[in-house]
Amino acid sequence: MANRSCIIRLSRYKNALNRLKGLNFVRVFSDNLADAAGVTAAQVRKDFSLFGITGNRRGGYKVEELADQLNRILGKNQLHEFIVIGVGNIGRALLHYPGFERSGIDVAAGFDIDPAKYNPQSQPPVLPLEQLGELIKTRDIKLAILAVPDYAAQQVLELVLSAGIKGVLNFAPICLKAPPGCIVNNINLETEIENLIYFINAAENRK
Amino acid sequence: MANRSCIIRLSRYKNALNRLKGLNFVRVFSDNLADAAGVTAAQVRKDFSLFGITGNRRGGYKVEELADQLNRILGKNQLHEFIVIGVGNIGRALLHYPGFERSGIDVAAGFDIDPAKYNPQSQPPVLPLEQLGELIKTRDIKLAILAVPDYAAQQVLELVLSAGIKGVLNFAPICLKAPPGCIVNNINLETEIENLIYFINAAENRK
DNA sequence: TAGATTGTTAATCGATTAACAATC
DNA sequence: TAGATTGTTAATCGATTAACAATC
């Protein structure tokens, strides 16, 4: 079974392949992809074998074909809509992040409890939390990004899950756990910075 | 040697301890911390032993003392300044993210190449890229967050590293690798969403 | 003292890597 | 054909967990 790290590597291979396509490459070897993704060639072939992706002994993989297969595995062959809960600093940035659209990911709406944030006319619209359930249902949305304060995070998580959301990316600085059948990934900016600080200090002290 | 996962767990223990301090807890057991951080009790004790942190057999750990030790390991006993390169959607959000200040992390300035973004009077100021080297030197800054477009990321990385930065958190959608002596952690929003999509689909197909 | 929890060692688990036969 | 690369198995590595003697 593929785990999180494996799927992240698949995304990297996919991104590398897109760049190769732009350069009109037709074939690629596991060695090339390994370099691009910062892993070993054995890892690349092992990852592919997990998904039944085969190449050509001696001839490597066809760029176009391989990209298609990875795109299908990663769900890139269809549009995915998500919502953003909490339109503060981070939430607002995500609402308008141009990188999503480029990759077939679409922000359907933002939600907040503060009426001052509402803006149903903007693109994407910012709506009251009360309208969340309806939008999720009519548009069949499965993904949410949480960018609310820590004290609200757990409650909001339960709200979106009960409304039908299956996957959550959480930016609130508190580690949320997913109930079975759902997936919650946490991005904690403070923790990331602490991590950098630790390893910088460790490197200095080793000298 | 402690690895990234271990240090991330340490941050979680530290956050849990801060909450316990607020509740006036005096002692805590490895079991409690394990629950709070979503790991096993053995993992907690193993992590502590890596850093020579000892408790009291039968009596667990003193909350205050343990928090101090973790804070020291994570460098929370001193103020850390960092800079943000690229004042677009994400960069602007990070410049004003209130979570950093609360945790002893301080944004010294933002930098951009677009003169329309400059604002030396704002708090924090937004400055031309040319002033980056000087600020890093006079304030002895070691941390940078990159929030620039993908095509600029590699070049900007080299710029900040040659200016003396030791740790980088990269939001550009391209996987940057760190030369020896430096550390680069990548946060790729698109990849995170793809990850959610994959596991949601996998769960659906299993049914 | 008796009972509970630590600190650490040994066992387990899973992921990565090395190696090489198959084969294009 | 000869040579290079895949696909896969076995070996290695490292991290997590279980277990338990030490001890507060």
Residue B146 has pLDDT above 70, yes or no: yes
The architecture CATH gives domain B4-73: Orthogonal Bundle (1.10)
Count other C-beta atoms under 10 Å from residue B131's C-beta: 14
Using 70 as the pLDDT threshold, list the residues of chain A that sit under it: 207
Half-sphere exposure of A129 (CA within 13 A, CB side): 15
Q: Which residues fall within 8 angstroms of residue B186, CB to CB, at 6 or more apart? A: B170, B175, B176
Q: What is the distance in angstroms measured between the alpha-carbon CA of B53 and the sugar C1' of C5? A: 15
Q: How sure is the predictor about B207, in pLDDT bands with cuts at 50, 70 and 90?
A: low
- Interface subset of A 25-84, CB within 8 angstroms of B: 37-38, 73-76, 80, 82
Residue B182 has pLDDT above 80, yes or no: yes
Strand partners, B170: B146, B186
- pLDDT tens profile A103-141: 999 999 999 999 999 999 999 999 999 999 999 999 999
Compute the Cα dihedral for A10, A12, A13, A14 and give only its sign.
Answer: positive
pLDDT of residue A160: 97
| Residue B200, token pair as written in the block | 């949601």
pLDDT of residue A205: 83
The architecture CATH gives domain A80-191: 3-Layer(aba) Sandwich (3.40)
Instruction: Answer for the pair A118, A174: CB distance below 8 angstroms, yes or no.
Output: no
Return the nearest residue to D22, CA–C1'.
B57
Q: How far apart are CA A137 and CA A141, in angstroms?
A: 7
Residue B166 has pLDDT above 90, yes or no: yes
- pLDDT tens profile B5-33: 999 999 999 999 999 999 999 999 999 99
Q: Where are the beta strands (DSSP E) in B142-200?
A: 143-146, 167-170, 183-186
pLDDT of residue A207: 65
| Residue A99, token pair as written in the block | 């990188």
CB-based contact (8 Å) between B200 and chain A?
A: yes
Q: What is the distance in angstroms measured between the alpha-carbon CA of B171 and the sugar C1' of D5? A: 35
Map out the domains of chain B as residue ranges.
Answer: 4-73, 80-191
DSSP for A30-81, please give it: HHHHHHHHTS-HHHHHHHHHHTT---BTTTBEEHHHHHHHHHHHTTTTS-EE
- Determine how β-strand A80-85 pairs with β-strand A143-146: parallel
Percent of chain B with pLDDT over 70: 100
